[in-house]
Amino acid sequence: MNIVIFLYENMTALDVIGPYEVLSRLPGADLKFVAENKGVVRSDMKSLGISVDHSIDEIDSADIFLVGGGPGDEAVRDNERVIDWIRRVNENATWTASVCTGSLILAKAGLLDGRNATTHFAARETLAQLGAVPTPERVVIDGNVITGAGVSAGIDMALTLFAKIAGDEFAQAVQLGIEYDPQPPFDCGSPEKASPEMIELVKATLAA
């Protein structure tokens, strides 16, 4: 099971680390972090760096191909070399996945044209402009593409994908193993639940 997770500067760490914790437990998993160039890739908060051992010149296929999101997604979308590589890897992938604004990257590569997909709530309009059909669900499957909404939804997406591949019982065991039992202190984790004022505050913060 060849799993490729694409990293880039100014990514959001949990977008990729959440799915990593789940998908790395698939039977026979061979998981690689890949970036445009080898070296340390810094997250959007700059205090966290992930060491990348493989460049896009070395990897051209995957059984599972995952792209996370973050403020750096726009620069990736403008990088034709990377976008062409994403198209190539997707061609033979069994599953192509994204978390948060990683779906914008997939959409820019033409992989979500006319497909239902999800993303961070603040990026739904942009996702539509790039040819996808945005939905508010936390996890969306359309064909062999699975997308997760904002940041923490990557864990839900990965568990859903895990169950598709290895079965519900094994996926439940992984969920228990990582003790994933969300009990947030506030019931405002989606725009459907948050106040209009809170939504505008978050949008303004993200825009800044």
Q: How far apart are CA 178 and CA 186, in angstroms?
A: 22
Number of H helices and number of E strands within the chain? 8, 11
Torsion sign, CA atoms 172, 178, 179, 180: negative
The helix-helix angle for 168-177 and 153-166 (nearest 10°) equals 140
Cβ atoms within 10 Å of 10's Cβ, excluding its own: 17
Which is the catalytic residue, given 100, 139, 141, 145? 100
Which residues have a Cβ under 8 Å from the Cβ of 19 and sit 6 or more positions away? 5, 66, 68, 97, 99, 148, 154, 155, 157, 158
Sign of the CA dihedral running 9, 53, 78, 74? negative
Question: Could you identify the residue written with the tokens 């010149």?
Answer: 57
Q: Is 188 a catalytic residue?
A: no
Q: Is the dihedral of CA 93, 94, 98, 99 positive or negative?
A: negative
DSSP secondary structure string, 58-82?
T----SEEEE--STTHHHHHT-HHH
Residues annotated as part of the active site: 100
